[in-house]
């Protein structure tokens, strides 16, 4: 059985987790180096990588 905590998250799931819009997530991928992986046409995220990115302060940089 797959551990749900370690599964790949979608744009909508990661935006809900972070409490921001999908558009904000796309902007962060492009401008703030949000750790994202493109699988085909879809962006996917690892929760632990995103948590580390937030902790590093990169989400707050202008």
Residue 33 belongs to domain with CATH number: 3.90.105
Quote the mean pLDDT of the chain.
90
pLDDT for 51 beyond 60: yes
Question: Domain total for the chain?
Answer: 1
Distances (CA, A) of 47 to 10, 36, 41, 62: 10, 10, 20, 23
Residue 59 has pLDDT above 90, yes or no: no
DSSP per-residue string spanning 1-62: ---GGGSEE-HHHHHHHHTS-HHHHHHHHHHS----EEETTEEEEEHHHHHHHHHTTGGG--
pLDDT per residue as tens digits for the range 27-46 = 999 998 999 999 999 999 99
Domain interval for residue 12? 4-60
């Amino acid at each position: 059985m797959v551990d749900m905590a370690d599964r790949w998250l979608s744009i909508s799931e990661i935006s809900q987790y972070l409490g921001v819009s999908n558009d904000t997530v796309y902007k962060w991928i492009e401008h703030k180096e949000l750790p994202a992986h493109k699988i085909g046409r879809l962006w996917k995220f690892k929760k632990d990588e995103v948590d580390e990115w937030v902790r590093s302060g990169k989400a707050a940089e202008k």
